[in-house]
Every structure is written in structure tokens, then in C-alpha cells.
Amino acid sequence: VNMVRTSHYPQSSWFLDACDRLGLLVFEEIPGWQHIGDAGWKAESVETVRRMITRDWNHPSIVIWGVRINESRDDHDFYVETNRVAHELDKTRQTGGVRYITDSEMLEDVYTMNDFILGNEELGGNRPRTALRPITETTGQQKPVPYMITEFGGHMYPTKSNDQEQRQAEHVRRHLEVLNAAYGNPGISGAIGWCAFDYNTHKDFGSGDRICHHGVMDMFREPKFAAYAYASQCEPDEEIILQPVTFWARGERNIGGVLPLMVLTNCDEVEIQYGATVVKRAGPDRQNFPHLPHAPVVFDRRNFTAEELGLWGMEWHDTTITGFIGGKPVKVVKYVADPVAKTLEVVADSTSIGATDAVRVMVRALDQAGHKLPFFPEPVSIEVTGAGKLIGPGTVPLRAGSTGFWVQATGPGTIDVTVTSDRLGTTKVSLTAG
């Protein structure tokens, strides 16, 4: 099942209503990060537990209450009280307390742990690359306890949506390795990655642009490749996923070419046709990802010789990638060898909104095959007229071939949105507010 952690503060009731409708499980927790204050501060924090549960207990999507300040040190009396209040108000749900320290006192029903061990091998030491720590190492207890991973990834490998393809492929692999380890350990009840979306931050915490590029999607909710590590775990009858982790360019990767090429998919097999003659087919990589419901398909030198994909300096060709289920083709993705900007796409999440609502509008520069151009940074100008207003600046650059903005309705009526690119011209969309 899918789960979201409200890290780390209670969310809007509108958000929880949406989770109820979607069937998205929720781990809701009290506000705070690491700091624990004086007695008065603790008393107020206990009251936030009371207010959170009193307000939100009737949301069926909530399955666990977070009653510990995120990543704080142990504080016996304080956390005895937060747990007591939670259980007094709601005897039907478990409590958890998100921590990053090992051998922490377990006062909650579920030991919830932020596990950032993957990537620590870069700091040296004797531990090899490890997806998740052994449960007994983190809990300090030899007996089994209810256990959930509440963060992984994130700052250990920040990845921008316009980063080089090899970095994005490694970003994907790290998420897959943790998911595979979690699926393969029956003692782990779940693993929640950090995090869904990139977010604004301050100079002491993020990249030089004051953004934490920790998400599997960017700040406009545009998916990076790593988002499909999760999407591909759904069953095909829900949605067929076929997402190659590539921009399909000869010289994007070190030394050149696209191998190893990972295809995130829930198909049985994937076929690549390179140019007019070279056709290769492969199945899921169960050797490296034995526990995933749907392991990725990986093409490498076992599938292609250097000559078959062409050596450096040789002509680069179009390709067609096809997913098969039960021996039948079910989805096709095509790439062109010479992508150029062809289309300025402007799409609103909804063309009909309430008279006081806001809506996201996405702008994308697309090539001949309909793919975003990842290194198209040119600016677009935005104009909103009628019964709405633009939230934010009127001129913005594209990042990884896309950008987004929000339009706020100012009353009932028609809202006209005009987006202009010097190279791609003008695209208009109309919305209705009322």
C-alpha cells in the first residue's frame, strides 16, 4: 500500500480529506525538528498531541500518530506523557516516534527510524554499500519489535531534475535498493522515502539555489526518473509503467552511449529496437532486485555489443522501446536521435475550478516524440487575464524542460492564460471559474 508521512507537522484537513478519498495511508505527527525546550515548551508540545488527535481522529486514512519530536534525543518523562495522551484519546491506533539515533528508548508502539546508511560508504570505514541497517542494530533489542523506516535517501544523494543522466540513474538505483531491502525483510512494516518533492530552504541546508533537491519530483510536482521507481511497483491493471532512465543522447553519459540502461516497468519483458535492425529483449533484473514486486529491466553489455549501439563518432539512431505482458505488446516509448524543440505545451490540472480556488499550470518544451527537452532552459512569459490572477513572476526559466505556476481565481468567469516562448511561440489555455 502507499503511505505518506506528514513530516513533520499536522497537515491541512483538506489534505487529509484527499487522503481519505484516495485511500492513501497517513502517518501524522506533531510539529518540531530535533529541538526540545524547557518544561513550558514540553507542556505545549503535549497539547499539540491532544489538538492533533482531537481534530483528526476521524480520518480513516490516518493509521499511526507521531508523538515524538522528529529526530530528537530521548526524553523519558516527556515521551511517556505524549504516548499516554495519544492512547487516552485514541485506543485504536498505534503511536510512533521518528528518530535517527540507535539504541533509543522505545516508548511508542512502533519503532520508527530514519535510516540513511546507504551512501555512508563514501565516508570510508569497513561497511560496504548497505541499503538498510539490521533492525537489531538500530533498536538495540534482540527481540522483534514493530518497525518502520520513516526516511531514507534525501540529503544523502540530492538530485536535480536537470542533472546529468548518470546521476539520475544512480538516484533511481538508490531508491530501488532500499525498497528491495524493505520488501525482502518481513520485520520491516514499511519504508517511507525522503521525500516526495523538492522544497525551498535556507542557505545552511540546501543547494546553492536555496532548494533541497531531495524529492523524487521537483517543486512543481513534475516527476524525476526516481518517481517511477515507485510508480512501477503498481500492478499493470492499475497502470502500465514503461519509463526508460535516459534522455537518449550519444554523449550524455561518461564515455558515451546509454548503457547500462534501466527501464522502470511493471511489464514482463522489454524490447529495444535501435535503428532499423538491432532488436534486443530482456526481462526483470531479479539478480539485483529479487524482492521488488516489479524489478526494473536492465540492458547492458550482456545484451548489446559496442558495435551494435555504435561507437563514439558513429551515427546515433532513433529507438523504440516496447513493453510486453503475456507475450503481447502493451506500451511503446519512442526516442528520436536528433531531438529539437517543437511544441510548447501548457496544461492546467483542471480547466474548471471554484470561484476562489487556485490551480497549477505546467509548461513543457517538447521534442518531436513528445518528450521534455531536459536541457532547454529558455524563459517563458506568462499572462493571465479575466477572472483570475497569476501567482508569482511573469517571466520564468524552464528547468529540465518544464516549469509551473499557479493561477488564482478572483471570482466567477473565464480565465485566459497565455504563455509565450521566443523560440516556440505562444500557447493559450482557457479556464472556467465558478
Residues noted as catalytic: 71, 151
Give the Cα separation of 99 and 200 in Å (integer): 23
Give the Cα separation of 365 and 372 in Å (integer): 6
Contact 59, 26 (CB under 8 A): yes
- Specify the residue for cell string 533541497: 212
Which residues are paired to 148 by β-bridges? 112
User: What does the angle CA 394 – CA 400 – CA 401 come to, to the nearest 5 degrees?
Assistant: 60
Give the Cα separation of 263 and 370 in Å (integer): 18
- Specify the residue for cell string 521534442: 367
Comparing C-alpha atoms, which of 51, 78, 63 is closest to residue 6? 63
Give the Cα separation of 148 and 191 in Å (integer): 6
| CA terminus-to-terminus distance, the chain | 36
Q: How many CB atoms lie within 10 A of CB 384?
A: 21
Give the Cα separation of 152 and 138 in Å (integer): 14
Residues in Cβ contact with 430 at an 8 Å cutoff, skipping those fewer than 6 apart: 351, 414, 415, 416, 417
Contact 88, 51 (CB under 8 A): no
3-state secondary structure 283-302: CECCCCCCCCCCCCEEECCC
Radius of gyration, alpha carbons of the chain? 24
Give the Cα separation of 86 and 276 in Å (integer): 64
Instruction: Give residue 114's Cα distance to chain centre.
Output: 17
User: What does the angle CA 262 – CA 192 – CA 63 come to, to the nearest 5 degrees?
Assistant: 140
Per-residue DSSP letter, 259: P
